[in-house]
Amino acid sequence: MLTSSADVSVTKHQSIQDGIKPTTLRSYVHTDASDDAVQDVVKAVHKAAVQKTVKQNQNLDDFDKGVVRRTIYDLHKKSQSATMPNLQQALKKKDIDVSISTVSRTVRLLGFRFYKNASSRRFVSERDDIVLMRMTYLRKIHVGSSQQGLIPGCGLIFESKTNSSDYHDEMNKKHFTEWFRDTLLPKLPPLSVIIMNNAPYHSHLDPDSRVRNTSSNKSEISAWLEKSIVQYDKKMKKAELLDLVTQHKPLPRYIIDEVASANGHEILRTPPFHCELNPIEMVWSYLKGYVARHNSSCKEKDILKLFEEAKSHIDAERWA
């Protein structure tokens, strides 16, 4: 195949845009062995684009997300702007080398927001509502069961039935509520404070606490407003009715909270994105680590035996 200097110039420009080395494109363009050089170039461009996308869509695990959060706090303590470039460089020093887009996405998932400083550069700061929930939680928390460690007879162990690597996928609100009501509550000391995270199966709403949203039709929204004794004009548009719903939206009431309250206990929820503030995390980490270190057969009966051994180590001293 013959090419002109203009073809080479365009090829070089295109290669820079698509992230392909000019030599790679030239090897396709100048070959005489293939009549499908253009198709080969297209395939190469597509492959590079896919690889680039994969690199940008890296995901961080919970441990690395915790490092990201602490790094943002450290930047603020040092009076340094928590901009994306600064945060990315700080994370690299901690062996977390990811793209700017991954850092940005993780920051949002952790409940932070982006703001602009005087020079119009974006920096990261925590949402005010998250700060408030964290402070409220820390003032109320009672690290319970320090008198006895783990509560005997409350374990819930079952074999995974899915291919998911996340054990949370095995649990649902029905199974959790049954275990909570029938197994845990009868064994709790009076007036206990039960600390939970915000997993969906911990937080299913009381039906009366549910509010109408954009997926509801006008008649459903109107019925909700009437039930909630909220006055409205029947000529109002759907958007106006939903605005009234937002103004009169009740505080969420969770089934689990009501079950606990009926038995004289209180539910205290960790702030969103703060699993490290749940006292059980360190204990759970020890249990899993013990099993992983001593598991040599991968047989169910041996794993259960190791788990029971690990639980026997969680006494009042270790829990406290």
> What pLDDT digit, counting tens, does each position of 155-169 carry?
887 777 766 666 666
pLDDT, greater one: 125 or 264: 264
pLDDT at 55 exceeding the cut of 50 = no
pLDDT at 247 exceeding the cut of 90 = yes
Tokens encoding 46: 């597509």
Express each pLDDT in 57-81 by its tens digit: 578 887 788 889 899 999 988 888 8
pTM > 0.75: no
**What is the mean pLDDT of the segment spanning 5-16?**
43
In the chain, where does DSSP find H-type helix? 5-18, 22-29, 37-56, 62-77, 84-92, 100-109, 128-140, 173-179, 218-227, 238-247, 255-262, 280-294, 300-312, 316-319
Q: What is the structure's pLDDT at 160?
A: 73
**What is the mean pLDDT of the segment spanning 177-195?**
91
Could you give the C-alpha distances from 253 to 24, 208, 256, 258, 259, in angstroms and in order? Answer: 61, 8, 9, 8, 11
Measured between alpha carbons, how far is 282 from 298 in angstroms, rounded to an integer?
A: 24
Task: Provide the pLDDT confidence category of residue 181 given band limits of 50, 70 and 90.
Answer: very high
Express each pLDDT in 200-224 by its tens digit: 889 888 888 888 888 899 999 999 9
Q: Which CATH architecture has domain 62-126?
A: Orthogonal Bundle (1.10)
pLDDT at 233 exceeding the cut of 60 = yes
Determine phi and psi for 140, rounding to 5 degrees. Answer: -100, -15
pLDDT, greater one: 292 or 48: 292
**What is the mean pLDDT of the segment spanning 309-313?**
88
Over its C-alpha atoms, the chain yields an Rg (Å, rounded) of 28
pLDDT at 262 exceeding the cut of 90 = yes
Measured between alpha carbons, how far is 284 from 278 in angstroms, rounded to an integer?
A: 10
**What is the mean pLDDT of the segment spanning 238-265?**
93
Q: What is the structure's pLDDT at 223?
A: 92
* Domain spans of the chain, in order of start: 5-56, 62-126, 133-206+252-319, 212-247
Task: Provide the pLDDT confidence category of residue 149 given band limits of 50, 70 and 90.
Answer: low
Q: What is the structure's pLDDT at 88?
A: 93
